[in-house]
Amino acid sequence: MQSHNPACGSHRSLADGEQSVGVLPTGYIYPGFVNTEEMCREDLLQCINQSAPDMVVVSLGAAKGQDWICRNHSSIEAPVIGHLGAVINFVAGNIQRAPVWMQRAGLEWVWRAKEESTLIRRYLGDGLSFLRVLLTRVLPLALHQIVHQPQESDVRNALVTYHRRAGQCLILLNGAWRLSNLQAVREAFTRAVQSDGPVELNLAQVHSIDSAFVGLLLLLEQALSEAGRTLRLSDTPASIRRTLQLSGVQHLVVQ
């Protein structure tokens, strides 16, 4: 089928007296063999949204399907978007599932590599990428957090102060921040988002942060970015800067 004229199924509603059983398809799009860019056209996205689905299932192959979802998830109104990989082949009987004992042991990928030799290269690349992240990020971060384990008093007495100064929000943090004591930080970040102007986060007196704090920091950055505002971290201690770097958010640190 030509890419400029895709098959696009229409919305199907339940008839009077008809009961829903399982999954009720609301439509489909068959774009043909085209690149991801061709499948990101506005008319195709409108077709999906007009069918009012509760879930969108994408089946385009691993790389292309993931690329499409990353490009379009913000434009799709459905609350759930899922990528369907080998399931179609399993249901169609083109590929045999691994024995149950291999599935339970987490070894189905070995079986699939045997059945589909083209997957070996992909699995090898994924494995090497995982190993690189493990050795350069995960393990160093875990060791760093063990070495810089905070005192209980630093967690208990952690303090956050919010100021408005020269048209910007200034948030001063003191102590160690963990999942258990982040409520005050959440409130300060929410207040900053509801205000205007750039936001500066001063970390001069911060002794330790964990992944929950980093996640909250990324949410703040996203909310400010969507409003056309900026986030700046200042006076960041070396140990905190190292935590942020190993967490992949070194772009926030002001040298």
The domain that contains 210 carries what CATH number? 3.30.750.24
Q: What is the pLDDT of residue 100?
A: 92
pTM of the entire structure? 0.65
As a whole number of angstroms, the distance between CA 46 and CA 27 comes to: 12
Choose one of 85, 112, 127: the last residue of a domain: 85
Distance, CA of 220 to chain centre: 15
Q: What is the pLDDT of residue 14?
A: 52
Q: Is residue 95 part of a domain?
A: no
* Tokens found for residue 12: 């199907």
Dihedral, 154, 155, 156, 159 alpha carbons, nearest 10: 80
189 and 220 in contact (C-beta within 8 Å)? yes
Q: Is residue 68 part of a domain?
A: yes
Q: Are strands 7-8 and 29-30 parallel, antiparallel or unpaired?
A: antiparallel
177 and 188 in contact (C-beta within 8 Å)? no
Q: State whether 165 and 235 are in the same domain.
A: yes
| Enclosing domain of residue 132 | 100-147
Q: State whether 165 and 241 are in the same domain.
A: yes
Give per-10-residue mean pLDDT for the chain (255 aa): 47 55 79 83 88 88 85 89 81 84 91 87 91 94 90 91 89 93 94 92 93 94 92 92 90 69
Q: State whether 142 and 156 are in the same domain.
A: no
Q: Are strands 168-177 and 199-209 parallel, antiparallel or unpaired?
A: parallel
Q: State whether 157 and 106 are in the same domain.
A: no
For the chain, strand residue ranges (E) read 7-8, 29-30, 55-58, 80-83, 159-165, 168-177, 199-209, 231-234
Q: Is residue 45 part of a domain?
A: yes
Q: Is residue 157 part of a domain?
A: yes
Count of domains in the chain?
3
Distance, CA of 236 to chain centre: 26
Q: Are strands 168-177 and 159-165 parallel, antiparallel or unpaired?
A: antiparallel
Q: State whether 166 and 189 are in the same domain.
A: yes
Q: State whether 244 and 211 are in the same domain.
A: yes
Choose one of 131, 147, 163: the last residue of a domain: 147
* Tokens found for residue 8: 């696009």
As a whole number of angstroms, the distance between CA 195 and CA 198 comes to: 9
Q: What is the pLDDT of residue 251?
A: 84
Q: Is residue 185 part of a domain?
A: yes
Q: What is the pLDDT of residue 92?
A: 78
Q: Which amino acid is at 92?
A: A
Kindly report the backbone phi and psi dihedral angles of residue 27, in degrees, each rounded to the nearest multiple of 5, phi listed first: 165, 180
* Tokens found for residue 242: 């190292």
Q: State whether 52 and 143 are in the same domain.
A: no
Q: Is residue 2 part of a domain?
A: no
